[in-house]
Amino acid sequence: MSRSVRTRPEGSGRALSEAYDTALLDLDGVVYAGGTAIVHAVESLATARAGGMHLAYVTNNALRTPDVVAAHLTELGIPTGAGDVITSAQAVARLIAEQVPAGARVLVIGGDGLRVALREHGLEPVESADDDPAAVVQGYGGPELPWGRFAEASYAVARGVPWFASNTDLTIPGARGIGPGNGAAVEVVRIATGAEPRVAGKPLPPMHRETVLRTGAERPLVVGDRLDTDIEGAFNGEVDSLLVLTGVTDAAQLLAAPPQHRPTYVDADLRGLLTGQPEVSGADGGFRCGGWTATAAADRLELAGRGEPLDGLRALCAAAWTAAGDGACALDPGKALARLGG
**Bridge partner list, 282:** 287
Contact between 45 and 15 (Cβ < 8 Å):
no
Q: In Å, what is the CA distance from 143 to each residue of 24, 37, 85?
A: 27, 21, 23
Told to judge if 169 belongs to the known catalytic residues of this protein, a careful annotator would answer no
Packed helices 205-215 and 88-97: angle between N→C axes, nearest 10 degrees: 100
Q: Are 201 and 207 in contact (CB under 8 A)?
A: yes
Annotated catalytic residue 131: no
Instruction: Work out the number of other CB atoms within 10 angstroms of the CB of residue 99.
Output: 12
Q: How far apart are CA 137 and CA 106, in angstroms?
A: 7
Distant-in-sequence, close-in-space partners of 120: CB < 8 Å, separation ≥ 6: 90, 93
Q: Which of 21, 26, 84, 269 is catalytic?
A: 26
Whole-angstrom distance, CA of residue 309 vs CA of residue 291:
9
Q: What are phi and psi of 108, to 5 degrees?
A: -105, 125
Which of 28, 169, 230, 311 is catalytic? The answer is: 28
Q: Which residues 6+ apart lie within 8 Å of 156 measured at CB? A: 107, 129, 133, 136, 163
Cite the active site residues.
Answer: 26, 28
